Amino acid sequence: MNKGFKAGIRPGSLVSRFVEDRNGATAIEYGLIAGLLGIVIIVSLGALGTTIRDDVFGMIATTLNDAADS
């Protein structure tokens, strides 16, 4: 008697069911999509942060320096 297997289930049928099962592949695909979206968000926020730092805070610093010089 095979230990670890239910009666009536052959090991070959377990392998064939595993190969034909698409649920795991779908979960992996969703994981890859979520990871890719995360990378895109991080990169875009990094670029946006640099723009905000240079433009907005640069303008504020210039305005404050001009006000201090007057």
Q: Give me the domain span that covers residue 53.
A: 35-70
Residue 11 forms part of a structural domain: no
Residue 64 forms part of a structural domain: yes
Residue 21 forms part of a structural domain: no
Residue 16 forms part of a structural domain: no
Q: What would the 3-class secondary structure string for the chain be?
A: CCCCCCCCCCHHHHHHHHHHCCHHHHHHHHHHHHHHHHHHHHHHHHHHHHHHHHHHHHHHHHHHHHHHHC
Residue 2 forms part of a structural domain: no
Residue 8 forms part of a structural domain: no
Residue 26 forms part of a structural domain: no
Question: Could you read off the pLDDT of 21-67 as tens digits, one per residue?
Answer: 777 778 888 999 999 999 999 999 888 888 888 888 889 999 999 99
Q: State how many domains the chain has.
A: 1
| Residues making up the chain, counted from first to last | 70
Question: Could you read off the pLDDT of 57-68 as tens digits, one per residue?
Answer: 889 999 999 998
Residue 5 forms part of a structural domain: no
